[in-house]
């Protein structure tokens, strides 16, 4: 039960959605995969957050990344933040590929480097959802407009930097013209650093509703493997981090994110198998663009690490092909989700107006159908 002024569940990305809002595959559909890249400035992840002092040395490596995925017939989406969209080199590299339909460009908001700069820079405020609503909206608007001006089209996909959504994020994004968010990292808890708790969030996409606007959430994919099956996730979240390595060694429970950053290729392939067997509609892969150049992130320190990074993708893309999982794009994801919603609505209408309607109270059918359309 919520107090006065609280946000309804269908409009709050920090609360589990209703089962009716989840997007599931039809029996004749197969999962697809989406490559989402947090395209951002280079900075010291272990240092305090700062508005200045970052670098953009990894920007030229975006060209190599794009060439790699083009050769693999994958159109990634680059979720660019303020320093990237302000860099002419990045706009030229990604703009040419986007114009040719070989990649997409979305938004990623790092609040500490995005104007207006009205907040104190600290760990708590590094999560956009912790900022005052009017400041959140102002930063979202500034980033959206900068991407529109730089690439010739406003972005429709958003990711909060550090996965830092707030209870009002969905309504703001929908109002600003975004159609898809991919900030939820199911299975992770960022509360120790003043961030959101996504432990209870599903891996399936779902629709949020805000007045007459809808936003599709496509979570970043993380699965739980191990002998304990679904119970492994429950156990993982109720034990200390010191226990997690032991669970993994014993094969009982292990959290596996679909990313080349810190996850061996063999484990990623196992996670793909779990996701396919679970019939997740979208396998959402992610990584940070500074990992495209050695020395910027903990995951790619040397040239050998960078070679391993691309080798990881070779193994994973081969495994996806063997499992019949093809790449997808934002438009295809939205089409699938909208088709899913329309079919569900039609099924509801048939239920209401079939002979079974005799046992449904008068007026209930029309109200149920209206709710499905909202």
What's residue 8's pLDDT? Answer: 47
CB 105 within 8 A of CB 77: yes
What pLDDT is stored for residue 5 in this prediction? 43
Euclidean distance between CA atoms 365 and 358, whole angstroms = 11
Q: What are 172's two structure tokens? A: 């703001």
What pLDDT score was predicted for residue 349? 73
Give the CATH number of domain 30-221+264-269+280-328.
3.20.20.370
Q: What is the DSSP letter of 18?
A: P
For position 1, what pLDDT does the model report? 35
Of 65, 47, 77, 164, nearest in space to 114 by CA: 164
Q: How far is CA 357 from CA 98, 350, 360, 369, 370, in A?
A: 50, 9, 5, 13, 16
How do residues 106-116 score in pLDDT, each as one tens digit? Answer: 999 999 999 99
pLDDT of residue 6: 42
**Residue-wise pLDDT tens digits, 313-345:** 999 999 999 999 999 999 999 999 999 988 887
Regions of the chain with pLDDT less than 50: 1-9, 374
The pTM of this model reads 0.91
> How big is the chain by its Cα radius of gyration, in Å?
21
Q: Name the nearest CA neighbour of 39 among 112, 96, 94.
A: 94
The reported pLDDT for the residue numbered 366 is 54
CB 257, CB 263: distance < 8 Å: yes
Query: DSSP string of 94-150?
Result: HHHHHHTTS-EEEEEE-GGGSS---S--STGGGSGGGS-HHHHHHHHHHHHHHHHHH
C-alpha to C-alpha distances, 90 to 41, 68, 95, 112, 306, nearest whole angstrom? 11, 17, 8, 20, 20
Alpha carbon distance 83, 89 (integer Å): 11
Q: Residue 354 has which token pair?
A: 């079939």
């Amino acid at each position: 039960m919520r107090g006065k002024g609280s946000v309804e569940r269908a409009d709050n990305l920090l609360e589990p959605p209703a089962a009716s809002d989840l997007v599931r595959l039809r029996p004749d559909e197969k999962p697809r995969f989406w490559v989402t890249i947090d395209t951002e400035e280079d900075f010291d992840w272990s240092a305090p957050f700062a508005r200045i002092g970052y670098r953009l040395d990894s920007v030229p490596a975006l060209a190599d990344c794009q060439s790699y995925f083009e050769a693999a017939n994958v159109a990634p989406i680059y979720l660019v933040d303020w320093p990237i969209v302000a860099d002419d080199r990045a706009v030229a590299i990604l703009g040419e590929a986007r114009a040719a339909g070989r990649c997409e460009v979305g938004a990623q908001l790092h609040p500490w480097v995005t104007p207006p700069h009205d907040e104190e820079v600290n760990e708590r405020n590094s999560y956009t959802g912790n900022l005052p609503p009017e400041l959140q909206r102002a930063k979202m608007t500034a980033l959206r407009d900068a991407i529109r001006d730089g690439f010739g089209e406003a972005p429709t996909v958003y990711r909060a930097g550090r996965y830092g959504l707030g209870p009002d994020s969905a309504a703001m994004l929908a109002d600003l013209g975004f159609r898809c968010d991919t900030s939820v990292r199911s299975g992770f808890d960022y509360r120790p650093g003043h961030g959101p708790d996504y432990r209870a969030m599903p891996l399936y996409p779902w629709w949020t509703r805000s007045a007459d606007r809808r936003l599709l959430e496509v979570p970043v994919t993380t699965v739980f493997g191990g002998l304990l099956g679904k119970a492994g996730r429950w156990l993982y979240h109720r034990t200390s981090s010191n226990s997690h390595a032991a669970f993994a060694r014993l094969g009982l429970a292990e959290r596996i994110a679909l990313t080349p950053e810190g996850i061996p290729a063999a484990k990623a392939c196992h996670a793909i198998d779990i996701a396919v067997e679970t019939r997740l509609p979208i396998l959402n892969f992610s990584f940070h663009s500074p990992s495209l150049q050695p020395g910027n992130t903990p995951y790619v320190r040397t040239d050998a690490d960078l070679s391993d990074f691309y080798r990881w993708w070779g193994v994973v893309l081969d495994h996806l092909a063997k499992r019949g999982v093809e790449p997808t794009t934002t438009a295809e994801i939205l089409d699938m989700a909208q088709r899913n919603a329309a079919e569900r609505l039609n099924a509801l209408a048939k239920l209401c107006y079939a002979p079974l309607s005799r046992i449904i109270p008068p007026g209930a059918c029309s109200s149920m159908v209206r709710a499905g359309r909202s």
